[in-house]
Amino acid sequence: MGKPTSPWQVPGDRERRRELKRDAVILAAARAFRERGYHNTSLDDIAALLHVTKPTLYYYVSNKEQMLFECFREGLGRVASACGEARGAQASGRERLVEVVRGYAEAITSDFGWCMVRAEDQDLSPAMGARIKKLKSGIDQEMRALVRQGITDGSIGHCDPKMTAFALAGALNWIAHWYRDDASLSAAEIAERFVELFVNGLAPRPSGVTSGKSP
């Protein structure tokens, strides 16, 4: 027998099935928002992608706004996880920052990248918007802390931690404006290119040393 084609067909305990179905709803919403835009996507569109009825969606989320919130939270949560792993690593500040940049780039190129960057916070209620801003602020503070650690341990040259974190996040966020699933570089390759750029900068390399294929 082949594998189930829908989370609604996955065997297992009830709670696990519900979790898988809810994840599928959020993922379908993220893909629809990226394709059509938040305001041009209806719950009917998302239900059609999942081959379920619109009332079925209400069992997992209360409305479209909550779907957008969960998409924000999923994407930002991936960056926050990268920050948490870096925080606990036994490495220099620069090495830890490299891991965060890599995780950030991979999150931006995921299905949730569009919502993380191009959806508007004002589409959320004040309470939900405040929670998203808190998540973003936490990531910013983590990146600043890693820059400061790198300056202290000598792995990063003297710089302004705040401006450096802003520059990194701004460049990484911009990926969402041009990245497409059919791009010549994979998400992991793009992450590595950004790591290389921010670690090595634009300094000339010895003759014969290349960084790989061109985009």
Q: In this predicted structure, what is the pLDDT of residue 197? A: 82
Q: Is 208 a domain residue?
A: no
> Whole domain around residue 33: which residue ranges?
1-61
DSSP label at residue 44: H
Nearest to 138 by CA among 210, 82, 201: 82
Q: Is 213 a domain residue?
A: no
pLDDT more than 70, % of the chain: 85
Statement: residue 5 has pLDDT above 50: no
Q: Is 132 a domain residue?
A: yes
For 130-139, 188-197, 198-207, which range has the lowest pLDDT when averaged over its residues?
A: 198-207
Statement: residue 176 has pLDDT above 90: no
For 50-59, 159-168, 200-209, which range has the lowest pLDDT when averaged over its residues?
A: 200-209
Query: Which band of pLDDT confidence, cut at 50, 70 and 90, is reported for residue 183?
Result: low
Q: Is 204 a domain residue?
A: no
Q: Could you read off the pLDDT of 7-60 as tens digits, one per residue? A: 655 556 677 778 889 999 999 999 999 999 999 999 999 999 999 999 999 999
CATH number at 2 reads 1.10.10.60
Q: Are residues 75 and 176 in the same domain?
A: yes
Q: What angle do CA 12, 27, 123 make, to 5 degrees?
A: 135
Statement: residue 181 has pLDDT above 80: no
* Confidence (pTM): 0.82
CB 137 within 8 A of CB 70: no
Q: Are residues 101 and 176 in the same domain?
A: yes
Tell me the mean pLDDT in the region 112-125. 84
Report how far residue 63's alpha carbon sits from residue 101's, in angstroms, rounded to the nearest whole number.
Answer: 33
Q: Could you read off the pLDDT of 45-99 as tens digits, one per residue? A: 999 999 999 999 999 999 999 999 999 999 999 999 999 999 989 999 999 999 9
Report how far residue 43's alpha carbon sits from residue 181's, in angstroms, rounded to the nearest whole number.
Answer: 24
Q: In this predicted structure, what is the pLDDT of residue 99? A: 92
CATH number at 180 reads 1.10.357.10
Statement: residue 204 has pLDDT above 70: no
Place of tokens 């589409």: 123
pLDDT more than 90, % of the chain: 56
